[in-house]
Amino acid sequence: EPEVTQTPSHQVTQMGQEVILRCVPISNHLYFYWYRQILGQKVEFLVSFYNNEISEKSEIFDDQFSVERPDGSNFTLKIRSTKLEDSAMYFCASRGGQRRGYTFGSGTRLTVV
Amino acid sequence: QQPVQSPQAVILREGEDAVINCSSSKALYSVHWYRQKHGEAPVFLMILLKGGEQKGHEKISASFNEKKQQSSLYLTASQLSYSGTYFCGTGGARAAGRDDKIIFGKGTRLHILP
């Protein structure tokens, strides 16, 4: 069964530092997403990415955030100058088409101290 | 807009049935259902794309009423493994070739007792 792989599984960072969360989506998938979940609450949309550009981003996804697909396989989320409220589980997801479900990665737990 | 799920939580005994509802205030193109176990990622159960469509997955099925902008997830003869939080996710209509993100509801916690 193809998987979405996320690294690291845990990241602890000091407030104000930059973090990069990495994801390897399923190879033949076309659509990529970042979501986050705070303490088992709702899964919040951050950004979607298709055809090598951002399709849509939420109000949460401000100038502090950026995404890249640097080499055709990795999909990264960068958070500049992290804040305490950025602490959450960050999930990467991908899907092969609009009529398909998402496959989520196992997530990166980010703790900002 | 975030879809509304009900109930917020359900406790069942093994073998009992449950229905989880999901409704939206805006027109829907698709409804997704996912299950998340504690400390794990959400796992895709099924997607419904047309009004009146029903899909099944073992003893878990779902319906989609496009007119009412609602979907329901049916769990029959529940098993211990069904415990977890169920999320519906809704997507609006988009032009072909363009993607529309899924907005998830707050989830319904399901606990199955032996």
Written as one letter, the residue type at B11 is I
Question: d(Cα A100, Cα A95) in Å, to the nearest integer?
Answer: 6
Tokens read off for A49:
């990415």
User: CB–CB of B99 and A56 under 8 A?
Assistant: yes
Q: How many domains does chain A have?
A: 1
Structure-token pair, residue A21? 């969360």
- pLDDT confidence of residue B97: 53
Go through the domains of chain B in sequence order and give each one's CATH number: 4-113 (2.60.40.10)
Mutate to test the interface with B, among A43, A44, A53, A60 (most CBs of B within 10 A): A43
In tens digits, what is the pLDDT along chain A, a chain of 113 residues?
A: 789 999 999 999 999 999 999 999 998 898 999 999 998 788 999 999 988 889 999 999 999 999 998 887 899 999 999 999 999 999 999 998 878 899 999 999 999 99
The DSSP 8-state label assigned to residue A40 in this structure reads T
* Whether the predicted pLDDT of B58 surpasses 80: no
* Nearest CA distance, A99 vs chain B (angstrom): 7
Task: List the domain range (segments joined by +) for residue A74.
Answer: 5-96
Residues shown for chain B: 114
CATH code for the domain in which residue A84 is found = 2.60.40.10
